[in-house]
Amino acid sequence: MNYCPGLGYSQGVTTAGTARDTTTRTGPGAARQHTLRERNLELVARAVFEVPEPLSRAGVAAATGLARATVSTLVDQLVAARLVRELPAVTGGRAGRPAVPLVPAPRSVVGLGLEVNVDYLGVRVLDLTGDVVSERVVPGALHDSDPAVVLGRLGELAREVTDGVAASGMTVAGARLALPGLVDPRTGLLEVAPNLGWSSLDPVPLLGLGDLAVRIANEAKLAALAELAGGSDVAAPDSFIFVSGDVGIGGAVVVDRALFLGERGWNGEIGHVVVDPAGPRCSCGAFGCLEQYAGKEAMMRAAGLPPDSPLAALVARLAQTGAAAGGAQALPAGRALGSALADFVNLLDVGTIVLGGAYAELLPWLRADVEAVLADRVLAAPFVDLHVRAAQAGPHAALTGGAREVLRAVLAAPAAWV
Residue 59 counted as domain residue: no
Q: Does residue 277 share a domain with residue 202?
A: no
Residues 386 and 243 in one domain: yes
Q: What is the predicted pLDDT for the residue at 92?
A: 63
Q: Are residues 360 and 404 in the same domain?
A: no
Burial 121-130 (b: 16+ CB within 10 A, else e): bbbbbbbbbb
The CATH number of residue 136's host domain is 3.30.420.40
The pTM for the full model equals 0.88
**Residue 22: pLDDT band by 50, 70, 90 thresholds?**
very low
User: Per the domain annotation, does 258 fall within a domain?
Assistant: yes
Domain count across the chain: 2
Q: Answer yes or no: are the C-beta atoms of 117 and 143 closer than 8 Å.
A: no
Helix (H) or strand (E) holding 125: strand 120-127
Q: Write phi, then psi, for 178 (nearest 5 degrees).
A: -90, 130
Same-domain pairing of 374 and 407: no
Check pLDDT > 60 for residue 95.
no
The tens digit of pLDDT for each residue in 247-263 reads 999 999 999 999 998 88
- Same domain assignment for residues 386 and 256: yes
For CA atoms 396, 222, 177, 413, give the dihedral sign.
positive
Beta bridge partners of 234: none
Instruction: Quote the pLDDT of residue 33.
Output: 64
Q: Angle 331-348/358-377 helices, nearest 10 degrees?
A: 60
Q: Which residue has the higher pLDDT, 328 or 386?
A: 386
Domain carrying residue 152: 109-224+397-411
Q: Distance (Å, rounded) from C-alpha 362 to C-alpha 276?
A: 23
pLDDT (tens digit per residue) in 23-80: 333 333 434 666 888 999 999 999 999 888 999 999 999 999 999 999 999 999 999 9
Give the integer Cα–Cα distance in Å for 405 and 407.
Answer: 5
Non-local CB neighbours of 263 within 8 Å, separated by 6+ positions: none
Of the candidates 416, 407, 413, 369, the one whose C-alpha atom is nearest the C-alpha of residue 388 is 369
Q: Is residue 339 part of a domain?
A: yes
- Residue 214: inside a domain, yes or no? yes
Residue 33 lies in a domain: no
Residue 88 lies in a domain: no
Q: Within this chain, do residues 329 and 260 fall inside the same structural domain, yes or no?
A: yes
Which pLDDT belongs to residue 264? 86
What SS3 class is residue 339? helix
Q: ∠ CA(50), CA(393), CA(358), 5° rounding? A: 165
Q: Contacts from 79-88 at CB under 8 Å and sequence distance 24+?
A: 79/105, 80/418, 81/109, 81/414, 81/417, 81/418, 82/108, 82/109, 82/171, 83/45, 83/108, 83/109, 83/128, 83/410, 83/411, 83/414, 83/417, 84/45, 84/48, 87/54
Q: Which amino acid, one-letter code, is at 227?
A: E
Task: Say if residue 195 is in the same domain as residue 292.
Answer: no
C-alpha span between 336 and 332 (Å, rounded): 6
What are the pLDDT digits (tens) for 140-151? 999 999 999 999
Which residues, in sequence order, are bridge partners of residue 240? 254
> Are 114 and 184 within one domain?
yes
- Do 253 and 177 lie in a common domain? no
Bridge partners for 287 per DSSP: 281
**Over the Cα atoms of the chain, what is R_g?**
23
Q: With bands split at pLDDT 50, 70 and 90, how would you rate the model's confidence at 1?
A: very low
Q: Is residue 14, in this structure, part of any structural domain at all?
A: no
Based on the domain organization, do 242 and 385 belong to the same domain? Answer: yes
Contact assessment for residue 2 and residue 124, using Cβ atoms and an 8 Å cutoff: no
Spatial distance between the Cα atoms of 220 and 236, rounded to a whole number of angstroms: 16
